[in-house]
Amino acid sequence: MPTENVWSPDSHSLDAGRCRRCGSRDVRHLGNAHSRLDWLVCNVCSHVWGIADAATENASRRAGGRVLRERAARFVSHVLWRTGAVLCVALASASLVQAQTPQAAAPPQPAQGRVFASDAGIVLNFVKPEKTHDFEAIVTKLREALQKSDKPERKQQAASWKVMKALEPGANGSVLYMFVIDPAVKGADYTVSTILSEAFPQDVQALYKQYVDCYATGQNFVNLSLVSQLGQ
């Protein structure tokens, strides 16, 4: 019955059983591989190296470093073998991924609706100064869409949705508009483009482009919770 190849550093120098890369002493003997070297592998970092016993080292010095050259050659061969194996695996993986990639990309999934997770909320809209007229025109269309909708939740949204404009300039010279929603309708979608598409399906593309072009730095969607009602 074969036994595990056990190696002992007794016939070698004190540091012979230490990994040349990580310094671990958890090493395993691989054999001689028809050479004058004992080949070892580190069980920690998988580094492979060869060593010679004292007699062989003396002989190698007398022969002008023949053993050292052999050790270097075998080490280089080992590195090249491992590099080639890694390259083959990488090429095979790339081929497999390419084979599994569909020819046509799947259509993008629709964005998740803007639903408040609290009793109230605000939306901060940072609008370009030269686009305030266009933004307020979109707000007018939004008001019309909410009021003409047959959905009960749209009527509820319109009743508690206010649009405010800051007198002070916003970040980077933008104009700040705020959607103040108190109370928020539970589970209702506050996405402006969705509401516009329900009321104006033929014009929604142009309205959406006009709406998006108004923004300087986008929106901040903020959920609010009541801390105190000071009048009560």
Q: Tell which residue, 113, 119, 96, has the closest CA to residue 190.
A: 113
**Domains of the chain with CATH codes:** 9-98 (no CATH), 120-224 (3.30.70)
3-state secondary structure of 29: strand
> pLDDT by residue for the chain (232 residues), tens digit each?
444 444 455 545 545 667 767 877 787 766 665 556 666 777 877 777 666 655 555 554 555 456 556 665 665 555 555 555 545 544 555 554 454 444 433 333 344 578 999 999 999 999 999 999 999 999 999 999 999 999 999 999 999 999 999 999 988 899 999 999 999 999 999 999 999 999 999 999 999 999 999 999 888 989 999 999 898 8
CA distances from 48 to 44, 59, 79, 87 (A): 11, 23, 9, 19
